[in-house]
Amino acid sequence: METFEEHYASLHTALEQHLPGADMALIEKAIRYADDKHRSQLRKDGSPYIIHPLAVAQIVAEMGLDTDSVLGALLHDCIEDTDTSHEEIERLFGTTVAELVEGVTKLTRANFSTSEQEQMENLRKMFMAMSKDIRVVLIKIADRLHNQRTMQYQTPEKQISKSRETMDVYAPLAHRLGMQRIKMELDDLALKYLDPDDYQKITDHLNAQKEQDEAFMRSIQAQITERLASVGIHNTTYGRIKHVYSIYHKMQVQGKSLDELYDIYAFRVIVDTIPDCYNVLGHIHDLFNLVPGRFKDYISTPKPNMYQSLHTTVIGRQGIPFEVQIRTWEMHQTAEYGIAAHWKYKQGGQGSGDEKDFEWVRRLLESQQDTDAEDYVESLKIDMFDDEVFVFTPKGRVVSLPTGSTPIDFAYAIHSGVGNAMIGAKINNRIANIDAKLTNGDIVEILTSKSAKGPSRDWLNICRSNQARTKIKQWFKKEKREENIVHGRSSFEAEMRRAGLPPAAPSDDELSPKLLKKLSFDSWDDLYAAIGYGGLTATKAVGRIRDDITRALRQKEEERTPKPLRVEEPVRLNRHAVNGVIVEDIDSCMIKFAKCCTPVPGDAIVGFITKGFGVSVHRADCPNTAHRDDPAQAARWVRVRWANLDEQPFDTTLELDCITRDGLVLDVATVISTAHVHLKELNAKDLPGNKSIVTVRFEVKNVGELESIRAKLLNIRDVMGSRRGQN
């Protein structure tokens, strides 16, 4: 178990090494204050809670931040987890520290309708605070890093959910801030819980190969060092094995096993000046064979996160490819710690304002408008955290966009007016399609016209960046409300029919207010308009209210059905359930569940007397029950109900309509695994048009559990819809 004394000593060591001018008296005061406020709390491993703030403060100190940042780290959980107020922290430690703590504090006191909405609002709050003071997000990343380091003490469910958030948000955020060392550790720690089997295989493989790998790296390092020393270039050269997640990602993308993967070595050459970088590059290409197409110059064109370096991949005499990164010492510090490496503060705690230099922060805040809570994190992953492609305007301005972007994304990155007036594009001075994929170095010119009719709805499916998608939606929201209502109503009613529900059901006077409240809209026209301009999908809208409509229709049907007059008979104790179903008026018979609709407990059900196979149980909304009123078959339909027995598992199948992408099946399997149900079958089938159907068969105890799992599956990126399938 970790001790207070160990962490206290480690923090002091970090402060002496990285922040020698720190106000130690104020830091000691904050330690005592936090210790007192958290005294009644323990960590999951049973250690005193104060150990966590001490560890976070140590990480912040190692980033090279200032005294206020260390104080904010020490106090970061006080407002959220204790009776401490913003005013009290401000009185004791100053306004800046209070604002930092407030920025890191989650919105735990608010009421949210869904966990996705809570996550979205907490991220928005953090990003808003980050736009004013970048130290907020640096403290938050330090907080997440220590929590991920101690994740072994959490429940399996918490390990997976928090690790997924780390992989989706915090590791890419560290990358965007240029903090590669922390980014790599977050990736590895998250992978450990998201795919423990592959994580262990890679770790075991690296341990088994350790001596051989180290011998190879010593040999290459000696060759580089000897050559550079002979020409008088002062350098520091060292080799390393790429981290576990990087190897895992290469395996997934390239479809290779560990034994087939060779490009896992990287060497860094750190020199004194930029001219030395290019001189070293020439010597590296003289010593080893260049791999064509694998050279990148991030010195002349830095990444948006300030990263600068020369990258080249070469092959030595052993036939093994490896990467060489060449940079100056200043570039190296920035590559390791990003914005934290050069964040300096003026007297009085005023920031240098460098956060304004981050174009993606502005885009991040702009893209929050008109975004559904369930889509928010996916939008962040696409627009903020994907790999970049760098293209140029005709005047030479560099524009960074997510990989896979098109001229539409480029136009809206320049200005919304340019995008709305776009009628075509040129790439490298040649007319190009507006859905053409941009590549590094392209020179893009947008052709506009004052008579342009504005964006097309198809553009929402073509563009890659959330910035472009948001601006297109805003245009439709403002300019085309009536058209949006018509378009949205059509999509909504089509989805209702697809779900087996009558399109007019939501307009019921009694049911309508309840459904609108659940959808968070004031009127149906507002909902249709939102679907029309792309703020919400019809699939998600219907999915949220499907159960309520089904229950209401079932209740009305029961009220309309006349009850036959009969003398109540005593409860018959010998009546028993077969497969969890009781057939009314029949004591015992064979029961089978119809494969056309796979009913589960909680579904409204009916029975059909088959010839020689007992009673076949169908969902009440199954298409095969549509002719129950047919006089020729009316006598064969019987009333059935679920027995009040201990819950037992039932097979059910869901078919998911998806956009094809790598990792989709893994995401589906992860959701099923975290739901703790027995997975019996999982397969995927690719269809034309970059579409797929993923079929998943599993056991559930009732329809409530099924719908809960269905909702989680629909939250997966690129899962567009679902339906009950056949077993």
Helices (H) and strands (E) in the chain, counts: 30, 21
Q: Which of 625, 636, 643, 622 lies closest to 579, judged by CA?
A: 643
Look up tokens 């064969």; give the residue: 636
CA distance 494 to 542: 10
Q: Which of 122, 96, 98 lies closest to 33, judged by CA?
A: 98
CA distance 689 to 681: 25
CA 589 to chain centre: 50
Tell me if 473 sits within 8 A of 484, measured CB to CB: no
Q: Is the dihedral of CA 190, 191, 196, 200 positive or negative?
A: negative
C-alpha count within 13 angstroms, C-beta hemisphere, residue 686: 7
Q: What secondary structure, in 3-state letters, does 267-287 show?
A: EEEEECCHHHHHHHHHHHHHH
Report, in this order, helix, strand and coil percent for the chain, each rounded to 5: 50, 15, 35
DSSP state of 355: G
Tell me if 594 sits within 8 A of 616, measured CB to CB: yes
Residue 81 among the catalytic residues: yes
Helix (H, G, I), strand (E, B) or coil at 537: coil
Q: Is the dihedral of CA 236, 238, 242, 243 positive or negative?
A: negative
**Residue from 2, 23, 80, 388 carrying the catalytic annotation:** 80
Q: Which of 425, 395, 429, 396 lies closest to 409, judged by CA?
A: 425
Residue 354 among the catalytic residues: no
C-alpha count within 13 angstroms, C-beta hemisphere, residue 542: 25
1-17 CB burial, b ≥16 within 10 A, e <16: ebeeeebbebbbebbee
Look up tokens 């998600």; give the residue: 540
C-alpha pair distances (Å), 21 with each of 64, 330, 705: 11, 22, 57
Strands 650-659 and 719-724, how do they pair?
antiparallel
C-alpha pair distances (Å), 73 with each of 25, 108, 158, 374, 636: 16, 19, 23, 30, 71
C-alpha pair distances (Å), 697 with each of 71, 605, 650, 692, 725: 52, 20, 10, 16, 9
Q: What secondary structure, in 3-state letters, does 170-234 show?
A: HHHHHHHCCCHHHHHHHHHHHHHHHCHHHHHHHHHHHHHCHHHHHHHHHHHHHHHHHHHHHCCCC
Look up tokens 């200032």; give the residue: 66
**Residue from 2, 36, 77, 81 carrying the catalytic annotation:** 81
Q: Identity (one letter) of the amino acid at 412?
A: Y
Helix axis angle for 538-560 and 524-533, nearest 10°, is 150
Query: Hey, which residues are catalytic here?
Result: 80-81
